[in-house]
Amino acid sequence: MLKRAFENNISYINIEPDHYKAEKDFSIFFISDIHRRNLYLNWVKSIPSADAVIIGGDLMEKGVPYSRVERNIQILSEIGPVYFVYGNNDEEVDLKKLNHLLRRNNVTILENEVRKIEIEKDHSIWIAGVGDISYKKDDLQEALQAVNTTDPVILVSHEPGIMHKLSKSKKKVDLVLSGHTHGGQVRFFGAGPYEPGSLKKINETYQLISNGFGTTLLPLRLGAKSETHYISLKR
């Protein structure tokens, strides 16, 4: 269980969103729930470069040295430009210090905001992020209000519960990325407090829930392996 908690697993996924029309693939490295873990440069250098690196919240927690957090961000930056949404554990640390650290390292913070990235001429992609749901900082309408196009939209929310709010929204979203659940982290005979991480399609929206990279409370895993994701969006 201890060994499982410190594995460096990557899931390679191809997704074909209904609204993706670009000839060129768009690649994402998605990592969530780092918590207390260290990232290592040798491992990260084995990962292909990506158009976007998305941190899906819980970059840290109380007691984690800010020097470790900064080093993790700098290592992730080797893969591509970094985008970040807050998780519940991030909300429990010194936010002023964390924000300064993120901006100093050119991390784009998506708290109810959206960014447009050009893939090729006449084709772009939008990456939106919401604040943490448990702290009632999420504002889906504000996050998506600038999106008025047929280009594909990615929504990042630390907690998967954003899907309930999205179902009531008139905005189109092609892919939702979340973590938070750790896939149950420790599952006995297949049972756990949360379902294992998965990729599913609900109507026109793909939802990826990650088991996450780190652990909470105890550094143990069983039946819910540590994972990161390399996602390729294709026609």
Residue 189 Cα distances to 32, 93, 108, 211, angstroms:
25, 35, 40, 17
Residues counted in the chain:
235
Which class is domain 2-233? Answer: alpha beta
pLDDT score, position 192: 82
116-to-13, 81, 187 alpha-carbon distances in Å: 22, 13, 39
pLDDT at residue 40, as a whole number: 97
Show me where the domains of the chain are located: 2-233
Predicted confidence at residue 7, as pLDDT, reads: 96
Residue 175 to residue 106: CA distance in whole angstroms: 24
Helices and strands in the chain: count of H runs, count of E runs: 6, 12
Whole-number pLDDT of residue 168: 86
Task: Read off the pLDDT of residues 174-230 as tens digits, 9 standing for 90 and up.
Answer: 999 999 999 999 988 788 888 889 999 998 999 999 999 999 989 999 999 999 999
Residue 102 banded pLDDT, cuts 50, 70, 90: very high
Q: What is the pLDDT of residues 137-180, one digit of tens each?
A: 999 999 999 997 889 999 999 999 999 999 888 889 999 999 99
* Helical pair 66-76 and 95-104, crossing angle rounded to 10 deg: 30
The band of 74, judged by pLDDT with boundaries at 50, 70 and 90, is very high
The pTM score is: 0.96
Q: What is the mean pLDDT of the chain?
A: 95
113 confidence band (pLDDT: 50, 70, 90): very high
Confidence of residue 231 (pLDDT cuts 50, 70, 90): very high
Q: What are the backbone dihedrals phi and psi of residue 161, each rounded to the nearest 5 degrees, phi first?
A: -60, -10
pLDDT score at 104: 97
pLDDT digits (tens, 9 = 90+) for 29-70: 999 999 999 999 999 999 999 999 999 999 999 999 999 999
Q: What is the pLDDT of residue 49?
A: 98
Nearest to 225 by CA among 209, 234, 212: 212
